[in-house]
Structure 1
């Protein structure tokens, strides 16, 4: 059994077709005067290439043999030396995402989202594992551990990032299939629908927003007026409010054209879908809020203009504060250009900035801050949901609501606001009428045939 210091014990495993797919053999050899041994799996992959892999224990070799034979039978086997580690695949995937962003196929926030989730959560867990060795059970174990620590939204986002990475690996031929597509993991339930402010909440919010506290920054005051008015009465997403330009407002026709969105990561960009481009009526509350913003920037231009003694920032802001209550000045909002909502240094704001500058304080003033949980009861995005609920309450049908909200499909509108839409009873009413008519006919027939005394 020995030859040149080596001895082999061969165990053949035969397929149903009678051909050897994989073999497990015990290999012994002498190295530097010491005897060593290992269990070797030899097999031929679906491309006809001979391969082998060694293990310390026969149990491990047998397990791998079964695994390999199953993959070869399905045509999805990838040898370890032809795949990459999870960490390497994640780096390549992020590079590809940045390239797609440069081509305009992905938003920067989308790229950053994948990058953060993979680097923060998935890569530390799977880093040095070869992609072809990761099973759906491994991913399920990762998801289950995540659910013990993180919110459902975080877990779902991390799972999505892994799923997309696996799809990318298939395109790169590092994998033959996406295991998560064939064997989906059990995931936490989707995040519950966010609470929608009711009329009482909206009234409290509007009242708190309209109060200009002594010593409060005027720019913060007018910015919050615009954000709330556009959200509640225009159904704007926060990013759409922060991307609103003065040129988008048609004061004569009473229309606001929604053409942009602004975020901290992506900057100013067009809506994701064609439906996002829409016209919103310039209601009176929106007109007043936007006029206040126009008045502020008109007064500020005057305060920064020539003819004043001091040009220090402190003097400028004091001058604006005094002029706000006393100065009579012509305001021509149609002549203004650029962003409506800006910081004190003239830069565009974002949803993140709004939370730190006025939202938390406003919610506390309105009595809508949960002191125990240390968080606001609503986010700025909830104002958009409030707008939809008010429109539904006043009879706006689902197709017009879809256009007003800028949804790409009616299914999106119904998925989000279907629980608020009134039940259409026309079908019920029609069937009841038919049933009543038929029942009446049947009663007459019965009464004729069998007179009731």
Structure 2
């Protein structure tokens, strides 16, 4: 490997000079790289010498653009049979965020300062801190795939020191979101009572199961009758339906679990079982082929997977309005009366209530379960997640009554 100075004259007689790094790469191919400054040439030569010796050097001419590497990355995800929603998210990150800003840049020229500039541009263009973090994670995964293919030497995202900044961003995001609040994010006991009182028809067993068993919306949509044990009053979560209505395994190993169901849920399911749309049978489709009907507990009218939109728009929202669980929309009707809308817009609010019900003391109408049991009931992959989300709801054990009792015991 050598660094030499080259001088030449243009056709117009202008004198020019540059510094040339002459070296042989890991494949035995001779490479020449030109620099305007000697210090840049020396720095590249030193780095390239180490990379060639370690067998990891990739020349610019052998590299590809970020977009090209992104296509390989998506193909790898499809080959690994990742969930459809995950692959779609990867595509969105690549097409909407990565490609427009750095898509034409060669991987070999993607340095830590370049990644930092990319991060700044994401923020300047209005992306939220959470979205910026997700896009950078995807870019790091893209570069890791490219490294395995020998298309790039360095993973600038992984090299970028993010340990401290990641913690700062998460704390900032938590401050922005705030803790879950009863009556704001979590329905109150009175609101749940009002909702339960108006439940009827096909929505009664579904929402009772959501409220008192804590299943995710995808788990409710994928629940089968064979996974409901009426005698032992247990619900087994063994599959779920994703947002594309495709049946698959739970989100994680912890998601596959068994939760007890109170009598109100079991009784509602017994009644629903008698009138539930046809299940576990076969019928002729429009194309004349035989199609199997899924053995679902909460299917649509044709026995297929019910869409989440229908559950929310035809079930959750009208039920809250009927129950009086509403808030002002900020608008008025033609008579000047405030227009009321449903207070909780997503199914996860019911899951939050189930978590709070498991946490609350028995004298407050709760189950007073230990944190580890609550983690298992919710299907969280770690106790850390459970405590991060719901830790502030656990009784402190130092309220006025308990402090008074402890004082009497101590001084007796």
**TM-score normalised according to structure 1 size:** 0.67
After the TM superposition, which residues 178-217 of structure 1 pair with which residues of structure 2 at under 5 Å, given as runs?
178-185=155-162, 186=165, 188-189=169-170, 190=173, 192=177, 195=180, 197-198=182-183, 201-208=188-195, 210-211=197-198
Shift of 1:34: 7.4
Alignment pair present for 1:28 and 2:8: yes
Which one of the candidate residues 347, 359, 366 is aligned to 2:304? 347
Number of corresponding residues:
358
Matches within 5 A, 1:51-90: 51-54=31-34, 58-59=36-37, 62-63=39-40, 65-67=42-44, 69-70=46-47, 72-73=49-50, 77-90=57-70
Secondary structure in structure 1 of the residue aligned to 2:354: helix
Secondary structure at the residue paired with 1:418?
helix
User: Quick one: distance in 2 between partners of 1:167 and 1:118?
Assistant: 15
What is the alpha-carbon root mean square deviation over aligned residues?
Answer: 3.7
Distance in 2 between the 1:162 and 1:262 partners? 28
The alpha carbon displacement at 1:361 in A equals: 4.2
Q: Which whole-Å CA distance do the structure 2 matches of 1:238 and 1:68 have between them?
A: 57
Structure 1 residues not aligned, in runs of 5+: 1-20, 213-220, 302-335, 437-453
User: Structure 2 matches for 1:23-172, cutoff 5 A?
Assistant: 23=3, 25-29=5-9, 37=16, 39-44=18-23, 47=26, 50-54=30-34, 58-59=36-37, 62-63=39-40, 65-67=42-44, 69-70=46-47, 72-73=49-50, 77-101=57-81, 106-148=82-124, 149-172=126-149
Instruction: Indicate how the Cα distance of structure 1 residues 269 and 25 shifts in structure 2: closer, same or farther if over 3 A, else same.
Output: same
The yes-or-no answer on 1:418 pairing with 2:391 is yes
Instruction: Quote the Cα distance in structure 2 between the aligned partners of 1:412 and 1:115.
Output: 27
Q: CA deviation at 1:233?
A: 0.8
Tell me which of 218, 240, 255 is aligned to 2:219. Answer: 240
Deviations 1:305-334 (A, max 9, x none): xxxxxxxxxxxxxxxxxxxxxxxxxxxxxx
Aligned to 2:262: 283
In the alignment, which of 390, 399, 412 is matched to residue 357 of structure 2?
Answer: 390
Distance 1:152 1:383 in 2: 27
Q: Give the Cα–Cα distance (whole angstroms) in 2 for the partners of residues 143 and 261 of structure 1.
A: 35
- Give how far 1:257 is off: 1.4
- Contact 1:276–1:407 (8 Å) recurs in 2: yes
Using the TM superposition, give the Cα deviation of residue 144 of structure 1 relative to its aligned residue in structure 2, in angstroms: 2.4
Asked if the contact 2:256–2:379 (Cα under 8 Å) also holds between the matched residues in 1, the reply is yes
Measured against aligned partners, the alpha-carbon deviations of 1:373-419 in whole angstroms (never above 9, x if no partner) come to 99965531232222112111132112222222223433343333333
Say if 2:214 is the partner of 1:256: no
> Cα distance 1:402–1:370, how it changes in 2: closer, same or farther (>3 A)?
same
Per the alignment, residue 315 of structure 1 pairs with none
Choose 134-143 or 231-240, whichever is displaced more.
134-143
**CA offsets 1:98-137 (integer angstroms, 9 cap, x no match):** 1110xxxx22222222122112211221111101101222
TM-score normalised to structure 2 length: 0.73
Matched-pair contact (CA < 8 Å) for 1:166–1:178: yes
CA 1:343–1:67 in 2, change beyond 3 Å: closer, same or farther? Answer: farther
Q: CA deviation at 1:167?
A: 0.9
Aligned partners of 2:120, 2:193: CA distance in 1, in Å? 43
Aligned CA distance change for structure 1 residues 364 and 154 (closer, same or farther; 3 Å): farther
Deviation at 1:42, TM superposition (A): 1.4
Change in Cα spacing, 1:382 to 1:22, as seen in structure 2 (3 Å) is farther
